[in-house]
């Protein structure tokens, strides 16, 4: 079970609940892989609803890796995500919010 106080989000992938977390290392890895801009630009895209599926995938991979997973984006190409793309986008947005807010702040946004 994910612990929101640690910035964790749960996503079920191939029937297995996974804990996703944007650690500092995961954020640094994510920023090097972004094709467009910085993490601030990524947050702005999510706030404006202008994110891409590539953004969502990059965040899911970073969150999985922050949660201890050793795979890569190619490993998710045929994975079944419970709730589909909407659940993946929601988990990505929640991770961003939890990574950049103090516990208890902005709970209405996540």
Percent of the chain with pLDDT over 90: 64
Instruction: Look at residue 110 in the predicted model and tell me its pLDDT.
Output: 43
Instruction: Look at residue 101 in the predicted model and tell me its pLDDT.
Output: 73
First to last CA, the chain: 17
Domain map (residue ranges) of the chain: 13-102
How many Cα atoms within 13 Å fall on the side-chain side of residue 78?
0
Tokens of 103: 């516990």
d(CA 77, CA 102): 33
Instruction: Look at residue 26 in the predicted model and tell me its pLDDT.
Output: 92
* 3-state secondary structure (DSSP) of residue 19: strand
Instruction: Look at residue 36 in the predicted model and tell me its pLDDT.
Output: 75
How many Cα atoms within 13 Å fall on the side-chain side of residue 45?
19
Tokens of 102: 């103090």
Percent of the chain with pLDDT over 70: 92
The pTM of the full predicted model, rounded to 2 decimals, is 0.86
Mean of pLDDT over the chain: 88
Mean pLDDT of 49-63: 94
Mean pLDDT of 66-71: 92
């Amino acid at each position: 079970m994910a612990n929101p106080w640690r910035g964790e989000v749960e996503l079920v992938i191939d029937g297995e609940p996974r804990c996703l977390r944007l650690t500092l290392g995961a954020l640094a890895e994510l920023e090097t892989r972004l094709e467009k801009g910085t993490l601030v630009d990524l947050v702005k895209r999510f706030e404006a609803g202008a994110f891409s599926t590539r953004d969502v995938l990059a965040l899911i991979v970073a969150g999985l890796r922050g949660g201890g997973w050793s795979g890569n984006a190619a490993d998710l190409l045929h994975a079944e995500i419970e709730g589909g793309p909407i659940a993946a986008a929601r988990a990505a947005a929640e991770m961003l919010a939890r990574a950049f807010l103090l516990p208890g702040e902005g709970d209405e946004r996540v």
